[in-house]
Structure 1
Amino acid sequence: MTAPANAPAPTRPGDGVPDGPGPAPGSPRRERLRRALRWGILRAVALAVLLAAWQAVVAAEVWPRVLVPSPGEVWRQFVLTSGVHDGVRGYGGHLLVEHLGVSLGRIGTGSAYAVLVGVPLGLLIGTIRPLAVVLEPAVTFLRTLPPLAYLSLLVIWFGIDEAPKIWLLVIAALPPIAAATAAAVRTVPEQLVEAARALGSGPVALLLSVRLPAALPEILTGIRIAVGVAYTSVVAAETVNGVPGIGGMIRDAQRYNQTALVIAGILAIGLSGIVLDALLRLVERSAVPWRGRT
């Protein structure tokens, strides 16, 4: 029996008909890598343009070299302060990484104390109205004070050792955390609170099981901001007996018009701040994955 004339011809494997599903589109991981590569190239080009413009300004002698050193002079200070040269170890007997490490330790200690105090304080301000009336103006008052305004008072109270430096960083970092926590707690959807109350949750359970988890993304953002504030305050904190410390190193270099070393210290603070902020972003994405990527 012959097949109808219009019947399709039988096919065999390899005759152009796929045996299974077609190739899958690019994986999310591969797409993220491509995007990261594109942004990395863009940042590298922007950095190269910035360095070229900086070198052009120096070559044109727009300002004296003592005011605006070249990128090469700043790099030389990085090298000199990062090792031992002609019997001199770094700056003031400490390597650049040691100065930076001491300052990061102070920032970490001050920020940790600020978190331990600021988060509970913000929770109280956000949930108990009478406490908010009393404490919120105090938090705003501290938030508006520049660090140098109370550094002298802290030195009088605590001397010139570590205590005034840590206290200054705590006072600088605490208000953003408390303010962010209070604002986040106040914006928790009332439906969640009412549902928890209907299930029998008391005030403490509501605070710890409903309000705090719902406010966590904004609290973590406040902590990131507070760490940045501590970074901007570390130079002020280390103006008194700040060596070893990156702020103390910058302060000493400024006294002797070592502009290249001052810029090297500023760049060290900024680069370490970028790294730390990236780590905090990673912690934020891990702790609150429902918030999405930023």
Structure 2
Amino acid sequence: MTYRPYLAMIQESVQKDDVTFEEISPYYLYRAQREKKSFIMHDVEIGLNNSASLKLARSKSGTYSVLKKAGIPAVEHLFLLNHSSRFSKTNSYQLATDYFHSFNESVVLKQDDGSQGENVYKITSADELKIQLKALFSLHLNACLSPFYSSTYEYRIVALKGEPKLFLAKERTTSWKHNLIGGSRSKDVPPALIPSLSKIAIDTAQALELNFCSVDILDTTNGLLVLEVNEQVMLDEYIKGDPSRKEKVSAIYREAILERFKQL
């Protein structure tokens, strides 16, 4: 059994189902076993999603392109290839500048495959855009650019097998970001919004061909817009200090793990 609290919760969720975990690499790789069936668990990823969908969900611009094609409302994320790439045929700095002006000179710059709020910058000047883009490229990363939407609330919906399983609201406080680890408050979702959020989240999961994921939806003056999709369901900050939340997340992971064994 791992000593990582969130991973331990996931493993404990199926203790009564005769599922055991053999450690391959401490705190990171485990083999889940049940009777004669087994699968390797990579961090918190249990393998319900195909590899192409996983790669797609990690790309902010790729996700947006698929959602746009499917007619699902989403925040624009426009791809900026690292200028040092051997595949680069355009000037990414000029392209970024053009996007910047088209988005009313208020944008968010981030790494295209980013997560947990790292390497994310709110940009309000062309000079700052160039500096931060150069910094991202120096880390051998590709980038993407999106318009900045001022929003108090962001909603996260966990989807499993085409059904919404959990709803949470993240209320922005001192930062312009909505990360719980950065100080945002976790709140219940207003019941009136649940039907709309459910449809957007499930349509999004189906468009990306994801069986298990969480969908982040921004509440903007332009309506509800998908901000990003997380191929790994991480709710560790959400469950801290609230046993009832832990039970809900544990039940979702139990269902997901048992579904994985059914597919073997």
Give the TM-score of the pair, scaled to structure 2. Answer: 0.23
Determine which structure has more spread, i.e. the larger CA radius of gyration: 1
Structure with higher strand content: 2
